[in-house]
């Protein structure tokens, strides 16, 4: 595999989170292989990924020192939970909801409201005007963030402490933001309107597939953005401020924007690049693992990806995209023992729909707003400011 893009020693050590001395110790013990030439040592990216996964499984954190990804706290939640590799929203299967219910129906059930209000003409004018002022260089999440702020600034009830105002603000955002991104035209259903905002053309089954994706991303344990939402709600922030806080944590390559790299990987394979070469390059250039693979909360693979990819298989003209998905998945499973996650499924959806590589993050954010608001409502039932931790100073002693 010497023709594949490879990692330098510094890149391999950084990926494993160790010093170069430790990296070479792994080599000397036969745990990692390397190639050497005039430029120095180089490493197979997928071998490094497989080794990193084995280390994570066997590592034991030192007392008082949580390993990466280890929760600093455990919070009770009344929304999402995973049982036997199945995601549930309360007592209902998320997979079944995605297949049988619209996004609006699921959100109305979670929020205990009859329906979601449509955005007013005034809402749309405010949000669209603010988005237009950003110019072409703004990312899709930039547009969402400023639109949230604009809608908050024009809501005279945003600071009303009644928890019902959280749901009212959430409905204004969930229906208004897709319509604002669409730019023109009357808003319809959330998925239909968001499809018009993100997809360059109509495709049979497209809005329905997008609707299912929105349902599947509503909530998933306490992701960092969800924790940010709850911290803001603990301080009794408004629904807009809760969503703004969550979007700040969401707009990150290890969370909300991870599907971008997965879309680029699938696109390269779809255009004819060998899967092993494309994967190795993605690992080397990204430095954050294999895009679109791995989800530690599931033993048998991310069920959200399974559901969304199964729905895509039943959608017309998806063969080319799914061929790239299957080729990449087979290579990663063989070399690193990882299975597709939600980011790969979102990437496949956006690639099939001819959307931009950033579109997956928008779909994810719009759907997750419903979860953030649900968590805020729950947090309003708790003691205010309970999520303010105490710091322990570990810096240099005063002079």
The structure's pTM equals: 0.87
Q: How many CB atoms lie within 10 A of CB 215?
A: 28
Indicate the pLDDT class of residue 398, thresholds 50, 70 and 90: confident
The Cα 371–Cα 329 span in angstroms is 29
- Rounded CA-CA distance 93/87 in Å is 6
Q: What is the pLDDT of residues 63-87, one digit of tens each?
A: 455 555 667 778 899 999 999 899 9
Q: Do residues 372 and 230 touch, judged by C-beta distance below 8 A?
A: no
- What pLDDT, on a 0 to 100 scale, did the predictor assign at position 60? 43
**Strands of 80-83's sheet, edge to edge?**
80-83, 86-89, 92-93
Backbone angles phi, psi at 288, to 5 degrees: -130, 30
Query: What pLDDT score was predicted for residue 15?
Result: 84
- Give the residue among 70, 74, 46, 42 at the shortest CA–CA distance from 56: 70
d(CA 230, CA 81): 17
Work out the mean pLDDT of the chain and round it to a whole number: 91
Predicted pLDDT of residue 70:
66
What is d(CA 334, CA 3) in angstroms, rounded to the nearest whole number?
A: 18
Q: Of 188, 205, 183, which is closest to residue 349 (Cα–Cα)?
A: 205
Q: Percentage of the chain with pLDDT > 70?
A: 95
What is the C-alpha to C-alpha distance for residues 291 and 305, in angstroms, rounded to an integer? 13
Q: How far apart are the first and last CA of the chain?
A: 56
Which of residues 63 and 240 earns the better pLDDT score? 240
Pair 167, 377: CB distance under 8 Å: yes
Residue 395, pLDDT above cutoff 80? yes
Backbone φ and ψ for 239, nearest 5 degrees, come out as -60, -40
pLDDT value, residue 353: 98
Residue 135 — very low, low, confident or very high, per pLDDT cuts 50/70/90?
Answer: confident
Beta strands at 92-93 and 80-83: parallel, antiparallel or unpaired = unpaired
Average pLDDT over residues 131-138: 90
pLDDT reported for residue 66? 55
Q: Decide which of 12 and 348 is more confident.
A: 348
Instruction: Please give the average per-residue pLDDT across 332-355, as a whole number.
Output: 96
What is the C-alpha to C-alpha distance for residues 14 and 8, in angstroms, rounded to an integer?
10
| Distance in angstroms (rounded) separating the CA atoms of residues 391 and 380 | 24
**Contact (CB, 8 A) for 278 and 265:** yes
Q: What is the pLDDT of residue 375?
A: 98
Q: How confident is the model at residue 57 (pLDDT cuts 50, 70, 90)?
A: low
Q: What is the pLDDT of residues 291-334, one digit of tens each?
A: 999 998 898 899 999 999 999 999 999 999 999 999 999 999 99
Pair 387, 230: CB distance under 8 Å: yes
Q: Residue 61's pLDDT is what?
A: 44
User: What's residue 56's pLDDT?
Assistant: 64
What is the predicted pLDDT for the residue at 62? 43
Work out the average pLDDT over 242-270: 96
* β-bridge mates for residue 106, sequence order: none
Alpha helices by DSSP H, the chain: 9-16, 20-28, 45-58, 94-100, 103-111, 121-132, 140-153, 164-182, 190-198, 206-216, 224-234, 239-250, 258-270, 275-286, 303-313, 319-336, 342-352, 359-380
Spatial distance between the Cα atoms of 82 and 279, rounded to a whole number of angstroms? 29
Sorted by sequence, the CB contacts under 8 Å of residue 38 that are 6+ apart come out as none
What's the whole-number mean pLDDT along residues 350-362? 97
Mean pLDDT of 107-121: 93
Task: Give me the residues paired with residue 8 across strands.
Answer: 42
Segment 3-19, tens digit of pLDDT = 678 889 888 888 888 88
Residue 364 banded pLDDT, cuts 50, 70, 90 = very high
With 0-12 CB in 10 A as exposed, 13-18 as middle and 19+ as buried, what is 84? exposed
The whole-number average pLDDT for the span 124-144 is 92
Q: What value does the mean pLDDT take over residues 271-293? A: 92
Q: What is the mean pLDDT of residues 195-217?
A: 97
DSSP classification of residue 382: S
């Amino acid at each position: 595999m010497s023709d594949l893009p490879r990692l330098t020693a510094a890149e391999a050590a950084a990926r494993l989170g160790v010093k170069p001395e430790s990296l070479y110790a792994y080599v000397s013990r036969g745990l990692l292989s390397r190639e050497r030439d005039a430029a120095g040592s180089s490493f197979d990216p997928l071998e490094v990924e497989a080794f990193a996964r084995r280390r994570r499984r066997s590592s034991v954190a030192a007392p008082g020192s949580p390993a990466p990804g280890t929760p600093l706290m455990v919070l009770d939640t009344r929304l999402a939970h995973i049982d036997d590799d199945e995601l549930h929203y309360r007592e209902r299967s998320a997979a079944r909801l995605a297949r049988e219910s619209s996004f609006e129906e699921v959100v109305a059930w979670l929020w205990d409201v009859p329906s979601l209000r449509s955005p007013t003409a005034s809402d749309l004018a405010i949000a669209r005007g603010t988005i237009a002022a950003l110019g072409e260089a703004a990312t899709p999440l930039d547009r969402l963030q400023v639109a949230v702020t604009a809608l908050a600034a024009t809501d005279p009830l945003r600071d009303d402490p009644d928890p019902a105002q959280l749901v009212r603000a959430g409905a204004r955002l969930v229906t208004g933001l897709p319509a604002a991104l669409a730019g023109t035209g009357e808003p319809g259903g959330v998925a239909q309107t968001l499809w018009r905002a993100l997809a360059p053309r109509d495709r049979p089954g497209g809005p329905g597939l997008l609707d299912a994706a929105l349902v599947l991303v509503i909530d998933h344990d306490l992701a960092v953005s969800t924790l940010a939402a709850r911290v803001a709600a603990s301080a009794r922030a408004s629904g807009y401020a809760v969503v703004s806080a969550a979007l700040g944590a969401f707009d990150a390559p290890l969370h909300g924007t991870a599907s971008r790299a997965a879309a680029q990987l699938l696109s390269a394979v779809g255009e004819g690049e060998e899967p092993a070469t494309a994967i190795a390059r993605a690992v080397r250039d990204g430095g954050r693992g294999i895009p679109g693979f791995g989800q530690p909360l599931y033993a048998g693979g991310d069920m959200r990806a399974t559901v969304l990819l199964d729905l895509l298989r039943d959608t017309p003209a998806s063969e080319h995209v799914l061929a790239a998905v299957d080729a990449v998945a087979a290579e990663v499973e063989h070399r690193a023992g990882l299975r597709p996650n939600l980011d790969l499924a979102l990437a496949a959806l956006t690639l099939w729909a001819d959307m931009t590589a950033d579109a997956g993050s928008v779909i994810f954010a719009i759907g997750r707003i419903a979860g953030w608001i649900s968590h805020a409502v729950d947090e309003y039932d708790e003691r205010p400011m309970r999520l303010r931790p105490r710091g322990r100073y570990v810096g240099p002693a005063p002079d």
